[in-house]
Structure 1
Amino acid sequence: MTTGTFNIGRLGERAGVNIETIRYYEKIGLLPEPGRTAAGYRQYGEDHLRRLSFIRKGRDLGFSIEAIRALLRLAEHPEQPCEDADRLASAHLAEVERKIEELGRLRDALSEMAHCCAGTVAECRIIDALAS
């Protein structure tokens, strides 16, 4: 292979993404299909690596596939104002904060349940709460 091109395994290693995920991103149109060698093997370039790294970082931050798709569209127009990107990030932040609150309530409920057991399973509030 020439410099700047690599197979799907190497692309995955460099971007920190598994091969099945790369194929999935190609299938749903997040990652453009690569060229092929004469033998039919996928051949990726630096643009694929940059785009895949962008997608992985977005997923690591918890952005949905659709939000990443929108961010990729925005990234293709660097001269545009970034209000849409800010709006996407703000909406995602609000969702993360909502989930954190929900997890806090879940933690409190589990903590209360976990520290109340004394006696037999028949008297266990944990088992009772799950069974009801």
Structure 2
Amino acid sequence: MERTFSIGRLSTTTGCKVETIRYYESIGLLDEPERSEGNQRRYLKSHHERLLFILHARDLGMSIEAIRQLIVLSRDPEAPCDGADEIARQQLGSVRDKIQRLKLLEAELQRVVESCDGHRIGDCRVIEALAECGACHRDHRAPR
């Protein structure tokens, strides 16, 4: 018989909160486990592996929908991996866009910090610069 995990043990071994495990079940990313006679969830090794997959994908910034698509794709090991590659490429592009935006934010904050002489709030360049976003040297606002 295959070894099973309680939800607490699954949480401990993966570093994922119990509430998050239940959430992933409720939205269908994690298959619902069987229940013991006492109605306790009993997770299998496959649940553990799937949860680690989900957590790693989330660490890489992937959306729930992208993870859902990858799970669907993973069900057919013989299928071409074009779909999975495209999801990863899109995520990479998104990460690169965020890095570029963060670099702009860094430069603007550096400019603001360096422009303040730090004497008193009434003369504070940080407060003034934040109040006058139109005076920014770069457009750092996120696309809406």
TM superposition score normalised by structure 1: 0.94
- 1:110-129 paired onto structure 2 within 5 Å: 110-118=109-117, 119-129=119-129
Measured after TM superposition, the shift of residue 3 of structure 1 is 5.2
What's the counterpart of residue 80 of structure 2?
81
CA RMSD of aligned residues (A): 1.2
8 A Cα contact 2:2 2:44, kept in partner = no
Q: Are 1:55 and 2:68 counterparts? A: no
Percent identical among aligned pairs is 47
Secondary structure (helix, strand or coil) at the match of 2:43 reads: strand
Measured after TM superposition, the shift of residue 131 of structure 1 is 2.9
Any idea what the Cα deviations from partners look like across 1:32-77, whole Å, max 9, x if unmatched? 1111111111111111111111101111111111000001111111
What's the counterpart of residue 15 of structure 1?
14
2: distance between equivalents of 1:120 and 1:52? 52
Secondary structure (helix, strand or coil) at the match of 1:6 reads: coil
Secondary structure (helix, strand or coil) at the match of 2:127 reads: helix
Count of aligned pairs: 131
Query: Structure 1 counterpart of 2:86, which letter?
Result: R
2: distance between equivalents of 1:30 and 1:128? 47
Q: Are 1:93 and 2:97 counterparts? A: no
Measured after TM superposition, the shift of residue 24 of structure 1 is 0.5
Any idea what the Cα deviations from partners look like across 1:13-42, whole Å, max 9, x if unmatched? 222211111011011111111111111111
Moved over 4 A (4+): none
Any idea what the Cα deviations from partners look like across 1:61-110, whole Å, max 9, x if unmatched? 11111000001111111100100011000011011000000000000001
Gaps of 5+ in 2: 133-144
2: distance between equivalents of 1:55 and 1:20? 15
1: distance between equivalents of 2:75 and 2:14? 20
Measured after TM superposition, the shift of residue 130 of structure 1 is 2.4
